[in-house]
Amino acid sequence: MFSFKSEPIMPTFALVDCNNFYASCERVFEPRLVGRPIVVLSNNDGCVVARSKEAKLLGIAMGVPLFHVREIIKKHGVVVRSSNYALYGDMSERVMNILSAAAPGHEIYSIDEIFLDIERLPVPDLGEWCRQLRQRVQQWTGIPVSIGVGQTKTLSKVANKLAKATSDDDGVFIFTPEVAENCLHETEVGDVWGIGRRWSKMLNSRDIITALDLRNLQDGWVRQRMGIIGLRTVHELRGISCHDLETVTPDKQTTCCSRTFARASSDRDQVQSAVLSYAERAVEKIRYAGQVCRVVQVFIRTDRYDTDIAPYSISALEALMTPTADSRAVVAAALRVFDRIWKGGVPYRKAGVLLLELSSSQDVMPSLFDDRINGSDQLMKAIDKMNSRFGRGSIGLGLSPKSAKWRMRQEHLSPRYTTRWADIPHAQIE
DNA sequence: TCTGGGGTCCTAGGACCC
DNA sequence: TCTGGGGTCCTAGGACCC
């Protein structure tokens, strides 16, 4: 008889997550904000989308509307900032460059998170390696990060949450089978990656409170109530990896540009000009990604929070003859769709344009019947170049009046320190 | 008389993520 | 006064075909 010695289960994934990323970015260039409560707002300055530790301690919840926390902000002198994506995107790139160079494989998961493949990392002390990596990012970019290590992506997420609790000193947590039961018992089921509000509520109502409870459920029960996705999550909690590292970023399948208006509008011209400007912005995005689209979808809707009005939402789409990234073709299609769905007398609050069936612009077969796009590439390149040099919206199709009331509200915007010459920080020497 | 059933494609909606 | 934006994946149900 052979005797099989079971292989020791080795940790595989490290999840590195920037602490309070947007708030930390604001602090890098404005050190006086260190130690003060900061919140960063969504587009339109509507909701709180990021909070510093101090702001969290004041009880400001994630996603609350700004007007709900006005009192707290006033009373405690909370610093308020509009989202500055030019700054956050650039800072993210710097952090990711450092982290991705440190491991044999990586997956950038979001603007502030990256999974590292550390299964075969030849280091004697993994904890020490993590602490040094963390130190390096802090020193080179000014951004604090936390690192969680586990056998699956889901467990590395659990570990990361535990690491955050110690982010003032250590900021590193390694999830091992020895500590599994304890760690999962201390983790609320709703804090598990993949368990959102709905499932959390459903599970709690059945007395499944912790990640450990979830891990111990029977497969059939989970499959029936939470589908294949829920089952994968449960397996991952048991240390069975179901989500591989995605080292190549797959091309996007859809791109969308949508906005909530500052106030509802029934004015046809106003809503139309909003829709057309979203179409123009969406097509810019796919050009930047080297893609073309075949289908253009437009939607307009009322305010879904306003209980005084009848909810109304409509969308429609149009397939183009040739896949394209030409602003003129896409905007014209958006206009035709808009004309089809427009209905007067409705207080519209939100609109958007989706570009669907995206593909690489290199794979396009030109159509015999569509001769409009001759010279398209050069024209679009020229437009993009001018906009990148002189600022977005410098040149376009002449359809977006600047004063329209759907324009985005950004009353607390910080400078674009790292991506705009005029905003470069000044150092003062005394 | 008998009112099937399986396959595919599409769409809308629901769940999740950051 | 005031409630984000941009994605992915899965599933259920309808239309259609044989």
Chain B: nucleotides under 7 Å from a protein CB? 14-18
What's the pLDDT tens digit per position in A355-370?
Answer: 999 999 887 666 555 5
Question: Helical H runs in A124-218?
Answer: 126-141, 153-165, 180-186, 197-205, 211-215
State percent of chain A over pLDDT 70.
88
d(CA A396, CA A409): 21
The set of residues with CB closer than 7 Å to nucleic strand B is A 109-113, 157, 192-200
Residue-wise pLDDT for A188-203, tens only, equals 999 999 999 999 999 9
Residue A399 has pLDDT above 60, yes or no: no
- A254 pLDDT above the threshold of 80: yes
Question: For residues A98 and A399, which has the higher predicted lDDT (pLDDT)?
Answer: A98
**What confidence category does residue A141 fall into, taking pLDDT thresholds of 50, 70 and 90?**
very high
Q: Are A258 and A350 in contact (CB under 8 A)?
A: yes
**Of the ranges A198-207, A327-336, A346-355, A407-416, which one carries the lowest mean pLDDT score?**
A407-416
* Span CA (A194) to C1' (B9), Å: 29
What pLDDT does residue A373 have?
52
What is the CA A45 to C1' B2 distance in angstroms? 66
Task: Determine the nucleotide nearest to A202 by Cα–C1' distance.
Answer: B15
- Return the pLDDT at A3: 41
At A427 the pLDDT is 72
Average pLDDT over residues A228-239: 96
Range of A43-47, A121-125, A176-180, A381-385 with top mean pLDDT: A176-180
The mean pLDDT of A134-139, rounded to a whole number, is: 96
| pLDDT at residue A281 is higher than 70 | yes
pLDDT band at A414 (very low <50, low <70, confident <90, very high): confident
> Taking Cα atoms as reference points, which of A149, A111, A153, A106 lies closest to residue A131?
A149
* Residue given tokens 């410098």 in the structure block: A394
- Residue A298 is predicted with a pLDDT of 93
Output A421 or A119, whichever has higher pLDDT.
A119
Between CA A361 and C1' B15 the distance (Å) reads 32
In degrees, to the nearest 5, what angle opens at C-alpha A189 toward C-alphas A188 and A191?
70
CA distances from A62 to A47, A164, A315 (A): 8, 16, 30
- Name which residue leads in pLDDT, A388 or A172: A172
Which pLDDT band, with edges at 50, 70 and 90, does A4 fall under?
Answer: very low
A43 nearest nucleotide via C1' and CA: C4
> In the prediction, which pLDDT does A398 show?
60
pLDDT at A67 over 50: yes
A191 within 8 A of A211, measured Cβ to Cβ: yes
What pLDDT is stored for residue A430 in this prediction? 62
Q: Would you state the pLDDT for residue A419? A: 80
A268-288 helix and A327-341 helix, angle to the nearest 10 degrees: 140
Nucleotide nearest to A195 (CA to C1'): B16
Please tell me the predicted confidence (pLDDT) of residue A16: 98
From the list A264, A259, A265, A253, the residue with the least C-alpha distance to A280 is A259
How much is the pLDDT for A211?
Answer: 97
CA A319 to C1' C18, whole Å: 29
Instruction: Identify whether the C-beta of residue A145 lies closer than 8 Å to the C-beta of residue A137.
Output: yes
The residue-averaged pLDDT of A60-68 equals 89
Summary mean pLDDT of chain A: 88
What is the mean pLDDT of the segment spanning A243-258?
Answer: 91
Give the confidence band of A2 by pLDDT, cuts at 50, 70, 90: very low
The C1' atom of B12 and the CA atom of A352 lie apart, in whole Å, by: 17
For residue A6, give both structure tokens.
């079971």
- Residue A52 (CA) to nucleotide B10 (C1'), in angstroms, measures 45
**Nucleotide showing the shortest C1' distance to residue A157 CA:** B17
Q: How confident is the model at residue A60 (pLDDT cuts 50, 70, 90)?
A: very high
pTM of the predicted model as reported, rounded to 2 decimal places: 0.88
Which pLDDT score, from 0 to 100, does residue A405 have?
A: 47
Q: Å between A38 CA and C15 C1'?
A: 54
User: Per-residue pLDDT tens for A334-353?
Assistant: 999 999 999 999 999 999 99
A283 neighbors A331 (Cβ within 8 angstroms):
yes
Q: Which residue is nearest to nucleotide C2 (CA to C1')?
A: A67
User: What's the CA A133/C1' C4 distance, rounded, in angstroms?
Assistant: 33
| Positive or negative: CA dihedral A283, A288, A294, A299 | negative
pLDDT confidence band for A403 (50 / 70 / 90)? very low
Whether residue A10 is predicted with pLDDT greater than 70 in this model: the reply is no
Asked whether the predicted pLDDT for residue A20 surpasses 60, the reply is: yes
A412: pLDDT strictly greater than 90? no
Strand C nucleotides, any atom under 7 Å from protein beta carbons: they are 1-11
